[in-house]
Chains A and B, each alone.
Chain A
């Protein structure tokens, strides 16, 4: 259905230039579209950046947005994917009082069962890292919030596609 809201992951391969984030985010802002999450990073190609943006909208609209993104001079290529098209993860950090680690046996079970990882421990606090699906992170958050969380942060979604994207071929074609 073209009019139904759906969660899409947008992958954008771009030149690594100052100001491009502004140019891309303006496309969403102008159309009053809320960005659920946004990540920028290096890509598999040297000198080429990759934006990963999570948005919710109908398919008819996402096609237009991709057109607007690709129109930007420094964008090599933009794609949109459904959840089924991608392998995706989010990551999060919890900062929790160290006392709890020793006083509340249940916390240790939660950590074990959730496949979370202790990054660091000191006398005052410890930091727990967890990567996975949003639902897993939310579950862990719920379980830990009972004991009190000093700080929590979750990263943007990052995703790779099941299909090949052929950016390198595209860039090589320019050289020839």
Chain B
């Protein structure tokens, strides 16, 4: 149960008051505890912006430079705080521009509410100016969506939107509100949504399944845990840690599970998946019991499905029943919330340790270190590597920073090498792989967690997809640290072209502008590093700054990310070079 703030209570279950639909929208947001929202005004949402102007001291609207970035900023806000992110846009192009962010939030289970304006209801279906069927368009990428055509529907629908977005497996909800409903007056009253009769957010946990899971785990000789974002979304970090420590089971993470357990933990054996660590990928096909917790066996995690952990018994802890047996057939499925399930599991588990089995992970780590990690973090070649930039950021932030990465080589390097000491520190576009995500998401993350260091790690390609958000950063003085790892290529695509398309570098080379000049054009502090000897001091200067800061690091142009499970290969066929 969430606790309501005094400010929220001013708007909840108060005597009815006659106000417009647009004012009601703002009051609903305040009742839900929204302090900041991201958006872009336009014709069909103007009445709401007029109210936001009136309520300026109560709620902070941040004008992004593109609606897509309003959605990504709301995602960044949600990912670091666990709260619902809010984005707003006008009808037509404003609404369609949100779609990429909504799709990203859907596949990465991010709680978000998007509010779009819509043409007046009498014009619906007439191909009116800036009319799009945004409810139709957003249906496959929202957890729920709804169009409101009457002011009186606004409180109930918005309450439901927040409830659905944040409960169970979170996700994005879009509410489309016609302009006449925004103008219309009605008797406003707000009640929090406590449930929807057709919707079961958290399935009932079956005690028998928990004991069956405990039995399999207790008798395992070579068990391995793979946890995902479900642990973070379910606030189950402590429970997971207790399970790992009691049983001595080596535990690996998916890209979105990163940071739930500190990087330095002795039983944290690294990332699984396409560019994950060598040991957990190889030993996935050697373990006798695979315990999946809040993860969904994405294809980037499993590689070739029919050669994935076929020797192992699979125990799957999961909140979403439709994920059970979707990709991997389980032996025991434990439905429910990760925190609840793991705390019920813990007392049934035997204290144990698996020194020989753990040693196997260490031995394989040593191989990975020799072949890959050493060259990434302690290169002897002239060109800078992405890995050494991450290493320097780890040193300067003491592993306390939230890392917001974009998509591509730098993302894999960031996830592989960033030290995560604090949960909710890896904010990245996992499922959708949305280039352009990081810069706006970093804005949202920093605003939600102003006391945390937020470092955006972005490639030169993705950076230019949403580079205009430097304007948002400047106008709102959001002290994010922006690191562009510039290899003058769309590096990940180039890597695939090198490995699988005989080095035919079709449309991957980038002739880039003067990034420092652009950042300075937005009045940001900015610096460019091309030599190893300048790296440490530049990173230090950036981290020491209290202002937004842009750092470009020119890295080796044709470095590759390894290890790598080639697409369609088994996880144990992971390549080191």
> Which chain A residues have a beta carbon within 8 Å of chain B's beta carbons?
14-15, 17-19, 22-23, 26, 30, 63-64, 67-68, 70-71, 73-76, 171, 174-175
Contact = CB atoms under 8 A, between A and B. Distances in A.
B325 A73 contact: no
B136 A73 contact: no
A67 B196 contact: no
Interface in B296-333: 320-326
Nearest to B140: A26
12 contacts: A15-B198, A23-B140, A26-B140, A64-B322, A64-B325, A64-B326, A67-B323, A70-B322, A73-B143, A73-B164, A73-B196, A174-B197
A23 B145 CA distance: 10
A67 B198 contact: no
Nearest to A13: B198
Contacts of A63: 325
Contacts of A175: 197
Given A76-B198, A174-B197, A71 B322 contact: yes
Interface string B116-159: 00000000000000000001100110011111000000000000
Nearest to B198: A76
Q: Which of A15, A18, A73 has the most CB of B within 10 A?
A: A73
Nearest to B196: A73
Chain B residues touching A, majority SS:
mixed
B374 to A, nearest CB: 44
Contacts of A174: 195, 197
Contact of A71 (B146, B147, B196, B320): B320
Contacts of B140: 23, 26, 30
Contact of A19 (B139, B196, B324, B325): B139
Given A19-B145, A22-B139, A30-B140, A74 B198 contact: yes
Interface of B: 135-136, 139-140, 143-147, 164, 195-199, 320-326
B323 to A, nearest CB: 8
Contacts of A171: 197
List the 5 closest pairs (A to B, CB-CB), nearest first: A67-B322, A174-B197, A76-B198, A73-B144, A73-B199
Contact of B321 (A22, A70, A73): A70
Contacts of B196: 73-74
A63 B196 CA distance: 24
Contacts of A23: 139-140
Nearest to A170: B197
Contacts of B326: 64, 67
A14 B135 CA distance: 18
Contacts of A17: 146
A64 B322 CA distance: 7
Nearest to B322: A67
A68 B136 CA distance: 18
A70 B323 CA distance: 12
A15 B323 CA distance: 23
Q: Which of A30, A67, A75, A76 has the most CB of B within 10 A?
A: A67
B193 to A, nearest CB: 12
B136 A67 contact: no
A172 to B, nearest CB: 10
A68 to B, nearest CB: 5
A18 B324 CA distance: 29
A23 B142 CA distance: 10
Contacts of B146: 17, 19
Contact of B322 (A26, A30, A68, A74): A68
A18 B140 CA distance: 15
A63 B333 CA distance: 15
A64 B140 CA distance: 17
Given A71-B320, A73-B196, A75-B198, A26 B325 contact: no
A101 B368 CA distance: 85
Given A19-B135, A74-B196, A174-B197, 9 more contacts: A15-B197, A19-B136, A19-B146, A22-B136, A23-B139, A23-B140, A63-B325, A70-B322, A171-B197
A55 to B, nearest CB: 17
A15 B195 CA distance: 14
Contacts of B322: 64, 67-68, 70-71
A70 B203 CA distance: 12
Contacts of A70: 321-322
Contacts of A68: 322
A26 B106 CA distance: 15
A95 B321 CA distance: 48
Contacts of B143: 73
Contacts of A73: 143-144, 164, 196, 198-199
Nearest to A68: B322
A15 B136 CA distance: 18
Nearest to A19: B135
A71 B140 CA distance: 12
B557 to A, nearest CB: 39
Given A19-B139, A74-B198, A67 B321 contact: yes
A23 B174 CA distance: 14
A71 to B, nearest CB: 5
Contacts of B320: 71
B322 to A, nearest CB: 3
